[in-house]
Copies of this chain bind each other. A is one copy, B any other.
Amino acid sequence: MVSVGIVGGTGYTGVELLRILVMHPNVEVKVVTSRGEAGNKVSCLYPSLLANIDLVFTKPEVTSLKKCDCVFFAAPNGTAMLMVPELLKAGVKVIDLAADFRIKNPASWEHWYQQPHTCPEILQTAVYGLPELHREEIKKAQLVANPGCYPTAVILGFLPLIESGIAKEAQLIADTKSGVSGAGRAANVSTLFSEAGENFKAYNVNAHRHWPEIKQELELMHAYDVNFVFTPHLVPMVRGIFATLYVTKLEVSTDLANLYKQRYKDEAFVRVLDEGVLPETKFVRASNQCMLSVSRPYDGDTAVVLSVIDNLVKGAAGQAVQNMNLMFNIEETTGLANPGLFP
């Protein structure tokens, strides 16, 4: 049994981690922290867990977290880096669902997150937790930076084309759409039901923090600069990310479907759909699957890739558990094999 601690258990990624972990046969959740809810029952804040968990929120303290085998940070950006050094020293394995360890270049991190990084030396040891790209390193990692939700959908969608080198001249465009839970549980006017319901909008069109994260991973694949535009949108639904990816100037007439199917044939959590079937976010809701389709419409030289995930599962808590499984030598799909919730 892996004993687990969760820092910041009151947000949507926190409750989603709990939803998955309480059913995981190899895990025992020992500590769930929250500064604001300390002393209250977890199931009081989240009655959906009433039949499954009896824990009480505690204050986030290294002393108790140190006793866990694995600590997940589901806290705001900038929280994990304050506690991680001590936890690593104590031998704890750490998975950060926030952004503290995703961007390798500290200067770039500080530019995008507008705060100093408190442990840049540890940053270099963190592994970017996208198993389909870095599985072997994750298995050996003590610190995993769990990818952002958009980056997961976008990188898995571009990956075969970039890795294969056939998109060198391409303009890459990621037109991405997210359910509102991606904005978290903070009380903001713009994510009120009355504002986000019956509405569709773009946001952060000129600068989004997931842009450098995606760019970093794409460039690591093939060691060249990528030309990459990223436009996020908000969809009036709770869960789901849909990424529509465009890759222009495809010179070689590769069999794209085959390229994608080959690349992902051994992956448990990535499905390349048969021709004529297009992914929908509802196919993967509440599941850890990523579903993809690829085509080159209107006989042009632009490929269109569609990629869907549940932002809270494969885009956050599910992928974190997948990483935990790898780090603790547990079968990778354990606790994550359930189908999507349809309808």
Contacts and interface: CB of A to CB of B under 8 A. Distances in A.
Nearest to A302: B229
Interface in A306-322: 306, 308
Contacts of A47: 271, 273, 277, 279-280, 283, 291, 340
A295 B205 contact: yes
A183 B189 CA distance: 12
Interface stretch (A83-91, A97-105, A129-137, A193-201): A193-201
A151 to B, nearest CB: 16
Given A199-B237, A235-B235, A48 B181 contact: no
Interface string A31-44: 00000000000001
A229 B304 contact: yes
Interface string A232-244: 0101111110101
Interface stretch (A74-82, A113-121, A169-177, A323-331): A169-177
Contacts of A249: 171
Contacts of A1: none
Q: Report the contact-size class of chain A (Cβ under 8 Å from the partner).
A: 35 or more
A19 interface: yes
A44 B18 CA distance: 31
A339 interface: yes
Contact of A193 (B18, B207, B238, B295): B238
Contact of A173 (B48, B201, B302): B302
Interface string A46-57: 111111110000
A142 interface: no
A239 B23 CA distance: 22
21 contacts: A48-B283, A48-B341, A50-B283, A51-B268, A171-B302, A179-B194, A185-B192, A192-B193, A197-B197, A197-B236, A199-B237, A199-B240, A200-B280, A201-B242, A201-B281, A201-B282, A202-B242, A229-B304, A233-B244, A238-B343, A248-B248
Given A233-B242, A236-B237, 9 more contacts: A19-B342, A22-B339, A23-B337, A51-B271, A171-B248, A201-B281, A206-B295, A235-B235, A235-B236
